[in-house]
Structure 1
Amino acid sequence: MKATVLDRISFEPDVERLLRTLHLDPQGEDAARVRELVGEARAVARPKAMYREAYVEARGDDFVVLDGIRLTSRVLSVNLAQAHRAFAWVATCGRELEAWSQGLGDMLERYWAGAIMEAALRAAGRALEAELEARFGLRRSATMNPGSLEDWPLSEQRQLFALLGNPGEAIGVELSDSFLMTPVKSTSGLRFPTETSFENCQLCPRPECPGRRSPYDPGLYERRYRRAPRP
């Protein structure tokens, strides 16, 4: 299956939520400037996403092969044990918004612009999730992201991008030599159907993480992912 591109994503940021996130007085001068920046951002923003359905061809203790691409991760292998397909994806705020933010001369305004870009990235993520649910009925599902766990390092971005084809050409997302994405406000992952709830956060002991979606479960790896001892 060829990759599908979503490039007509609406961006209507919740300004009041944004002001709360930035800890700004809604009646203050800074809030007024943020509202102006939101107006500028809406005029240029083109958040985007792409995804590709891929089928499991082989699996081992610590790897899965999807459409000829080997992904190395014990956790991923276990999570896909009952799945026959998965969806590689990338979502981004878009090059247009990043270029706009880089044109701002004031450092504080660039910080505020970063929050606006994150809102655009969330819009792309919501559009992607809605598309997968509507087209494939993918409701009970989970996501893993390269680099979120030591078990699936950031270097696996290369294989994920290989599954997708050419995200740079399709939606403007490029990989650096260190496997970081540009635009910076981009994210990638593998979504898969599952009857067992899973979040990367459950295996991550990092104490303070603003993006945490689930509590750390210190015993989960031993219960679910530890290899059985060889006889």
Structure 2
Amino acid sequence: MSSPENESPVNPLPPVVVALFLLVIGIEAALWLGGRGLVGGPGAVGWRLEAVQRYAFSGPIFDWMLENNHWPFEHVMRFVTYPFVHASFTQAVFSGAMLLALGKMVGDVFSQLATLAVFMLSCVVGALAYGLFLSTPVPLMGAFPGVYGLIGAFTYLMWLRLGVLGEQQARAFSLIGFLMGIQLVFGILFGSQPDWVADVGGFAAGFALSFLVSPGGWSRLRARLRHK
């Protein structure tokens, strides 16, 4: 057994969360520095616009793929590339900070693969919700749908814990209710942004996926179905 003196006072972050964070921040750092002409030469000023055009999720392109039943890789990949392209440095920093916080809480319980699956599949479902329920030329970008997926996974863990303690499980949804309330207030004050639809889709995906990918999740779900 290791002695308390040799233990780190800070619990390490799950490696998959660190990798996702570094990918988000690394790409943003390149775009930010390029936009200010500090790297990449004169052409780097347009890196962010080029990244948005090539990697952000586009509703009109999604509609075109649906109508023609044609799915070229250069557009399908947008479902998993848009989380790593942000509209601004501020958006990237906020999403990165939330990714670390929520990823830590979920990754300490879920496996590395499960944590990655929740984040990425929530991004995919968020983009699907954005494309199916909205008709807007505004591209979807940023890691928030994946972060909301982690919020969904955290909500699932709280929901289980409250059930074990015999307390009201609806309390587990207080965090998502608070965040949606903040978005509503900001929407009223400054005008709503359509990406909240992707955030809700990401949350729902993260919560639902947790029934399958959490430790013992599939066995627990099968036992509940048999009980019913």
Common fold by TM > 0.5: no
Which one has a larger percent strand, Structure 1 or Structure 2?
1
TM-score normalised by the chain length of structure 1: 0.27
Indicate the structure with greater helix content. Answer: 2
TM-score of the two chains, using structure 2 as the length reference: 0.27
